[in-house]
Amino acid sequence: MDFYFPTELGEQLAFAAAAFTALAGFIIMFAPGYAMRLVGVMPREGRRDGYAEQRSVGGFYLGFGLSAIMLAQDWIYMALGVSFAMAAFARVISLLSDKGSTILNYLLLVVQIVLAALPLAYVFGFFSA
C-alpha cells in the first residue's frame, strides 16, 4: 500500500489541516500537562481526571486527523471542516457569554476557523485544479 499525498492545491490544504489536527492530537495525548499549560488550564490539586480527559480529546484529534489523511475522501474532509466550524462557533458563544475575551481565545478562534475553512473550501470547490 502506497502513501497517498494529494497533487492539487486544494486537497493539499485539506490534507495539511488533517495533518495539523493529527499532530495536535498526538501532542495533547502524549503531553497533556504541556497542552493544558499552553491553554492555561490545570486540573485541581489531588484530582488527576483532567489528564485523562485531555488524553481522550487528544486521541480523538489524532484518530480523526489520521483517518482523514489515510482515507482522503471528500466526506471525511467535510466532517473535519464542519467539526472545526462547530468548535469555532462554540468558542464564539464562550467569548460572548462566558466573559472569555482573551488574546488566547481569539487566537484559537482564528486557528479553528482556518482549520474549518481549508477542508471545506476544498470540498466545496473553492480551489481550482
Question: Residue 127 has what pLDDT?
Answer: 82
Q: Can you say whether the dihedral through the CA atoms of 99, 104, 105, 110 is positive or negative? A: positive
Q: Which three cell numbers stand for residue 21?
A: 489536527
Give CA–CA dist 71/96, Å, rounded. Answer: 37
Q: State the Cα torsion 83-89-93-94 to the nearest 10°.
A: 60
Q: How many CB atoms lie within 10 A of CB 24?
A: 18
Question: What's residue 51's pLDDT?
Answer: 87
Which pLDDT tens digits describe the chain residue by residue (129 residues)? Answer: 678 899 999 999 999 999 999 999 999 999 998 998 888 887 777 677 888 889 999 999 999 999 999 999 999 999 999 999 999 999 999 999 998 889 999 999 999 999 999 999 999 999 865
- Residue 99 identity: K
Quote the pLDDT of residue 50: 81
